Structures are given as structure tokens and as C-alpha cells.
Structure 1
Amino acid sequence: MIEKILPPAVVAVEAFEDPAEAVLLPEEEPLVAKAVAKRRAEFTTVRHCARQALARLGRPPAPILPGERGAPGWPAGVVGSMTHTAGYRAAVLAEATDVVTVGIDAEPAEPLPDGVEAVVALPDERTHLAELFAREPGVRWDKLLFAAKESTYKAWFPLTRRWLGFEEARLRFDPGGTFTSELLVAGPEVGGERITGFSGRWLSEGGFVVAAITITT
């Protein structure tokens, strides 16, 4: 599913259930030793996906340990992103020579919980969502906004090592499957140019909304 919104340079592996063959490496075990079963399952399966993606890149298995602010620590020369939610896990990876950064997020295509939209959406974004719902009521635009802001942060953080709040990016969606994420704070420099925003792609399929941002070299 997610490969539909990613460029060819990015390898994607996803799972809709937790396979029995998904296991943790010794370095990862202590991180979820006391976790509840749900947390352990999602942690394990998404790393199983990541190691399958590493294999497709021709790289050996490696532990994927959370680093600063929980961002996954990838092997040298690899960039990637992971997401997990009820019924879905995915990892996407690429060689750093091909991709500068990538950020993905998937969410169930269900309404945001009460009060969450006011936290994640700027006033003009809420107006934008209302217009989108009127035009295409079959898409869960509020949850897609959340997913796209998460993917924005995941693409931003490896470039800056800084937090990015929901209120620090303004999103606009094209019902055709793309979106823009305008940074409202100073962005990083990539290749000598200042990044002022990201372009992304989105998908609503199989009961999920998925968003992805990729900057290629």
C-alpha cells in the first residue's frame, strides 16, 4: 500500500498482522522487556519490517534502537522512517546517497478524538478541512491532517535534530493525492538551499490514511 506514494529509491515493507517469525535482536529486547503485549508486538513487527527492508537494500540485519526523541537509529548510510498503528506496521528505507530524508505515518481512517483537532490544526487548517469534507466526504481529512503533520516531523527531525510542533507547519491538501507542508519556523539547509516546506503524497485505502514525505538527492 504505502509504496504507491513513495519514489522508486525507497524500499517499503509493511505488515497488517504480527507474524510469528518477527523477533527482536538481543540489543532491542531490554527496551520492551516490561512492555504490555500490544506495545511489544508493534515494536517487534515494525523492526521485522525494517530488517526486511535492509535486506532488500543488500544490507545485513541490524538492531533499530530509539535515539534522540525516540527517532530510530539507522545503520550508517541509511535513511528511513517507521510507523505503527492498530492493524498496520511499516518501515521505509533508502540509501543516503539517493534520499536525504523520508517521513511516513499511517493512521486508522477514523475521526480524531474529541478535542484533538483543536490541538493539531491551525484555524485556517480547520477551515480547509471543512472545505475538503464538503468536497470529498469519503476521506477522513482530520485524521489525514494528523498523519501528514507526523510525517512532516519525521522528515524534519533528521535534518535539524529539533522539535517541530503541530502549530509550526501549515498543511494544504490536494484531493488528487498530494499535500504541501509549509514550515512556519526557519527550516534546515539542504544542498546549500534553505528548506521552507515539504511536498508529500497521501493515500486513503484499506481503512487507513497514509502520508509520506521524501526528499531525494
Structure 2
Amino acid sequence: MLRMTLSRSTLVQQVISALSEQIRVGEWPVGTKIPTEPRLVEMLGVGRNTVREAVKALTHAGVLEGVQGSGTYVRSTDELTGVVARKFGTADPEHTIEVRRALEVEAARLAALRRTPEDLDRLDAALVARDAAWETGDLEVFVEADADLHVAVVGAAHNPMLAELYASVGAAIRASVAVAVGPAMRAGTHIDHGRLVAAIRDRDADRAAHEAGKFLEAPVRE
């Protein structure tokens, strides 16, 4: 039950926060439909206009999406994810790669400096899973396994802010990887990540950054 007493001056913002919290904790997972407007009015104890404004704000932020004749659905877990997903979806491919480089190269460098034995265990397991996923020939399985390895690298950097920012672009990055690899999953599109993990293991920050950067060479413009 979400019912609460809300001050008039911050009514809409507090409703936005209440709805966002339900999404954040998984009460309304991504892809599911949120309760109807009358139900939200009842749950929150506020007027229809207040609920409507809050839903509209979250829709504009990319967290929610209204589907005509069906309802309103959760599209992302937070405003940052929604905004980033929209930006990545319409951005110049070169710019997208540059943003990924900014995040992933620095993450690899920091991981080499800060990794723990537990981080190495996670990296080794993720690398094995990624290679096994490639052998299945299933693009969706591979993309998820590839993402898990990169998330493990970012986690080994031990920078919570970097990890949160990287998580916000996760869906967009997985989509770009799927396009880059292609449904055929040809041998020529497979990029080994063993050297990256080895550099992190060796605490070689420069080599780790170099290996991470090699995966993300920006396309050359004609």
C-alpha cells in the first residue's frame, strides 16, 4: 500500500518519488504494466490530476511508456537509464563508442589496480561463461554473457559511481553489441577477452586499458 500524507507544495514530486521507488525495488518490473490511474489514486490518496502529472513526468523521462488501448508500462528502472537509452538509440555510432570507451577503458585500468582475489574469481567465471555462450551460437545468450564479463570488470574497479553509471547504459550497450556481432555470429566477429582478464590479474593498468580500448575502436569516417 502506497497511501501517504503529501504536502501540497511537493505533491507531484512526492508521487513521482513514490512511483519511482516501486519500480526501483522491483514491485513493478521492467516490461510490466503499472496499476491503472484510478488504482493509483486509491493507493496514493491523491487526485487524478496529480497522478496524471507524475506519470507524465516519468513517461517524459523514459521510465514509463503509455501504450494506447493497453495501459502504461515500465521501460526502465530510473530516469538516468531511460534518458541514456533514448540517447544511445539515436546517437551517432561513433559517439556511442566514444562514450563506451570513456567508461570501459577507465574501468579496466582501475580494475587492474584494485582487483581482489574475489574479483578475479568472478572475472574467470564470467570469461568461461562468455566463451561457452559463444559456442552455443545463440546471440542473445552471448550478449548477456558478454555483458556479465564487462560488469565484472567494472565491479573490480570498486568505484560505486562508475558502476551505477555503467549499469544505466547496460541495456543500450547490449543492444549495440548485438548489432556489432550480428545474428550469424561469424568467427571473425568474435573478440577474445582473455588478454583483458590476464592484464587485470597481472595488475598491469596500462595493458588492461589498452586491451579494453581495442574492443572499442571507433569507426573511421570516409
If you compute each CA radius of gyration, which structure gives the higher value, 1 or 2?
Answer: 2
- TM-score over 0.5 (shorter chain): no
| Bigger share in strand | 1
Q: Output the TM-score relative to the length of structure 1.
A: 0.28
Whose helix fraction is larger, Structure 1's or Structure 2's?
2
Q: TM-score, normalised by structure 2?
A: 0.28
